[in-house]
Structure 1
């Protein structure tokens, strides 16, 4: 339960870093007790927002957004994660606004995986532009770092085991939370 580095390394070799990081950070729909389970359909709040936003944005020509997260990256450091397709106008516009220094922050925050970006299908901002396809979108997630990718993944994994795990561990639940 505590040291899964051999399993993590084997999964990375077998499936690649992108699939591992996507399963850990991008959301998955296969295992309800697993890390970052996003469910099999929209939540109630998503359904309400999905109904309202197209009406609110109906006449909108330009939309910019920031979705804030905490977790991945060096403590106190910001990672700018573009939610537009690389090379698109919205992607380039984001860096025009923020400056070129912002381009390197995501790769740095994902240092344990060489800047590999997950598939964000479970994130609000990955879905948001579909609410106003007529608009010019620019958007990002800003991740305020707390710990490195591996430490965050370990914390989420242990949290899931504490909630759903069976069996015994040589460590108490309180020791695992530290």
Structure 2
């Protein structure tokens, strides 16, 4: 079980290992402190390590922790990429950047979401336009966000979702639950009511780095979807043939283009298409490298349990600590074989960029 001191120690070690590896590899690091504190009152940060030639025409950026707790897997990858010099700090042809802990609050507190209960990958929308309405989610909020939580409740949730999938089909249910919603701030997959701290910081970082650039690749590291230990490259948002072809030329069969009506398609609020849209004159490809961990039902239950804990529970109780451990286990498998499998695939992907 995870208490606040254990979570704080885990976060500090993950971040410390990254900073130490960046320093040894000759990368310049800038750290931006988050306005809120982490568990046990620790300070938390978004860190940017840069190397190569900042005046080059090409930018390569690898980011982690957009979904908070998924940063533990992403941090492992970034730290080892530095340790093994997969990205050469002396590269004169490219500007290299590693953004560590895009969502430091979720990273430290072992949540996918941020300090406002916002899923960052639903937050990158135009908030001056009318907010999207997810009518299907509205019918499910009571089920996904119960007032009490127990093993019986978790089992009931799983059966309810399974029945819906059988009746409506996986794509419909996936969009209802995971497509994002903007009307239930205490619910899951909440996109917020305005730009978050992380969105603002990441936007500023991206704009500064993209000055004068002709081409850029952003690889965002994620976990919790797919076959355990297997990493696939995906793009979210509206696909174009040119984007698909560029990705296939670079990564071949490692790139997975979900069908337009498939369960993996998220079209609103995603980071990648937003970054691409900020630089219309440059050739930008923003993709996700997603690693599988646990079966979908385990991941879904962990998200619902963590949301219940945030809204109704107490993190400092045995139940709260058990839920935190379950959330970590859903997105990060702390085993040597798993970490090695993940790193080898990540190194293969990055080396092809």
TM bin, normalised by shorter chain, reads: 0.7 to 0.9
Instruction: Output the aligned Cα RMSD.
Output: 3.1
The SS at the match of 1:6 is helix
Structure 2 distance, partners of 1:20, 1:51, is: 35
Structure 2 distance, partners of 1:15, 1:29, is: 23
Indicate yes or no: 2:184 matched with 1:31: yes
Contact 2:164/2:173, CA 8 A, preserved across alignment = yes
- Corresponding residue for 2:291? 144
Gaps of 5+ in 1: 108-113, 167-171
User: Structure 2 residue aligned with 1:92, among 241, 245, 254?
Assistant: 245
**TM-score, normalised by the number of residues in structure 1:** 0.74
After TM superposition, give the deviation of residue 36 of structure 1 in Å: 2.4
- Corresponding residue for 1:130? 277
Indicate yes or no: 2:219 matched with 1:81: no
The SS at the match of 2:227 is coil
Provide Cα deviations, 1:10-57, integer angstroms capped at 9, x if missing partner: 444666533432354443322212222221110123224334533542
Structure 1 distance, partners of 2:234, 2:197, is: 27
Change (3 A) 1:36 1:136: same
Structure 1 distance, partners of 2:278, 2:242, is: 18
Q: What is the number of equivalent residue pairs in this alignment? A: 166
- Corresponding residue for 2:197? 44
Change (3 A) 1:44 1:173: closer
Structure 1 distance, partners of 2:294, 2:228, is: 6
Greater Rg by CA: 2
Equivalent positions of 1:108-119 (< 5 A) are: 116-119=263-266
Structure 1 distance, partners of 2:249, 2:211, is: 27
**TM-score, normalised by the number of residues in structure 2:** 0.41
Indicate yes or no: 2:309 matched with 1:162: yes
Indicate yes or no: 2:200 matched with 1:71: no
Gaps of 5+ in 2: 1-152, 314-318, 327-353
Structure 2 distance, partners of 1:90, 1:28, is: 27
Indicate yes or no: 2:165 matched with 1:18: no
The answer to which structure, 1 or 2, has the higher relative contact order (CA under 8 A, 6+ apart) is 1
Contact 2:224/2:290, CA 8 A, preserved across alignment = yes
After TM superposition, give the deviation of residue 89 of structure 1 in Å: 0.9
Contact 1:71/1:146, CA 8 A, preserved across alignment = yes
The SS at the match of 1:121 is coil
Indicate yes or no: 2:154 matched with 1:2: yes
